Amino acid sequence: MKEIFRLIVVLTGVCVVASMCLSFVNDATKDAREHQDRLELLNALNMVLPEHDNEPDKDTVSLTGTDYYLSKKQGVINGVAFKCSTDKGYSGLIEIIVGVDTGGSIIAIGILSQKETPGLGSKIDEDWFKDQYKSKNLDNAKWKVKKDGGEFDQISGATISPRAVTLAVKEGLEEYKENMTTILGGSDVVQ
């Protein structure tokens, strides 16, 4: 009984010291982690938005759980970016960032994260795949892969991944179009 009590005390002491160390490291690195997260977001936004002179990560509108990042040039909105995701990928969650002009036509898309099969589904992150979405909007495209009667290329042996990306981007565009007036806020915009 005495031995068990001693083990409990030692284990409790080790746990307390370990949790204090973890708490200290978490507090000490919080600012650095936040800075890196911001740089990563800004890099993604710069990839999909037109030239701007504002900080789009600080100029946002939040609606229905989605943040819309406004791009401005000389105080005039010239683009909007938003994230969308789907769990319909072959290997699970695919996160996408979409940049659109104020009318809802795609400027560019970027794949933020994916776990698709290397060499197959992971090709959704290649430029040739992402470039096919440029200038597309809800009115000028059939939002399906070619195999399903649409106009977006699928990847041989990995149709599920392109199908998931196409559906997620389409749903993101529909949500943007539905909330466009609120997002743009009646501000001056470049169309």
53's CB contacts (< 8 A; 6+ apart) are: 72, 73, 74
Asked if the structure places residue 28 within a domain, the reply is no
> How far, in Å, CA of 6 to CA of 59, rounded?
57
Asked if the structure places residue 18 within a domain, the reply is no
- Tokens 């650095």 belong to which residue? 32
- Please tell me the least confidently modeled range out of 69-78, 97-106, 115-124: 115-124
Asked if the structure places residue 8 within a domain, the reply is no
pLDDT at 10 over 90: no
Asked if the structure places residue 89 within a domain, the reply is yes
> How far, in Å, CA of 14 to CA of 114, rounded?
38
Asked if the structure places residue 13 within a domain, the reply is no
- Tokens 């195999």 belong to which residue? 147
- For residue 32, the SS3 value is helix
13's CB contacts (< 8 A; 6+ apart) are: none
pLDDT in tens, 88-102: 878 889 999 999 998
pLDDT in tens, 21-67: 888 888 887 788 787 878 888 888 899 999 988 988 888 888 888 89
Domain that holds residue 158: 48-184
Let me know: does 146 contact 153? Beta carbons within 8 Å.
Answer: yes
Asked if the structure places residue 7 within a domain, the reply is no
User: Which stretches of the chain are assigned E, i.e. beta strand?
Assistant: 60-63, 66-73, 76-89, 92-100, 106-113
Which one, of 85, 82, 81, lies nearest residue 72 by Cα?
81
Asked if the structure places residue 83 within a domain, the reply is yes
Asked if the structure places residue 16 within a domain, the reply is no
Total number of domains constituting the chain: 1
Query: What band does 186 get if pLDDT is binned at 50, 70 and 90?
Result: low
